[in-house]
């Protein structure tokens, strides 16, 4: 994950949001890498972290590259409480709500906060039920499970 200069802040943020996570090895700019890449000596070059068993490396690479919506991470949620928790945490501090369960965190990384029941309902063999759920979801920012269930039931 390429950051301008916020790799350590991002790794600490993500590991604070997700319970089963940890920060790993940190590689700092020495004199040679600082001269070649322009980072301050002693500052973080890369930082490893892990979320739910998935390993990531964040790099302070400068302003050349930015995140965009072509890459996003999905957070599968079993309950509305989980949806609410991740939505609140990931939009905190300058994140942006989007549509259909999508958001950007304060670093510009896109996330899909998705209740697992949504996927189950969208894959229902009854196209009318699935269609009603899709229509309801398309009108939401943060996904509301009770509204999806009402649409699924035809209410």
**pTM for the predicted model, two decimal places:** 0.92
Tens of pLDDT, residue by residue over 49-87, are 999 999 999 999 888 999 999 999 999 999 999 999 999
Mean per-residue pLDDT over the chain, rounded: 95
CA distance 136 to 154: 11
Tens of pLDDT, residue by residue over 93-140, are 999 999 999 999 999 999 999 999 999 999 999 999 999 999 999 999
**Domains of the chain, residue spans:** 2-60, 72-153
Task: Enumerate the H helices of 62-144 as residue ranges.
Answer: 80-91, 116-122, 127-137
The domains spanning 2-60 and 72-153 adopt the same CATH topology: no
Q: Which helix (H) or strand (E) holds 28?
A: strand 21-28
CATH number of 72-153: 3.10.180.10
Tens of pLDDT, residue by residue over 21-50, are 999 999 999 998 888 777 789 999 999 999
Contact 108, 49 (CB under 8 A): no
Which CATH architecture does the domain made up of 2-60 adopt? 2-Layer Sandwich (3.30)
């Amino acid at each position: 994950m390429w950051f301008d200069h916020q790799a350590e802040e991002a790794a600490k943020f993500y590991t604070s949001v997700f319970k089963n996570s940890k920060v790993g090895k940190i590689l700092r700019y020495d004199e040679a890498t600082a001269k070649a890449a322009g980072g301050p000596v002693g500052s973080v070059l890369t930082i490893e972290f892990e979320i739910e068993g998935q390993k990531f490396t964040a790099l302070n690479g400068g302003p050349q590259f930015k995140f965009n919506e072509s890459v996003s991470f999905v957070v599968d949620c079993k309950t509305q409480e989980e949806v609410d928790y991740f939505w609140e945490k990931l939009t905190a501090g300058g994140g942006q709500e989007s549509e259909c369960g999508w958001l950007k965190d304060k670093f510009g990384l896109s996330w899909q906060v998705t209740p697992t029941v949504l996927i189950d309902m969208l894959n229902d063999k009854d196209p009318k039920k699935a269609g009603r759920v899709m229509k309801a979801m398309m009108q939401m920012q943060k996904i509301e499970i009770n509204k999806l269930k009402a649409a699924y039931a035809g209410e």
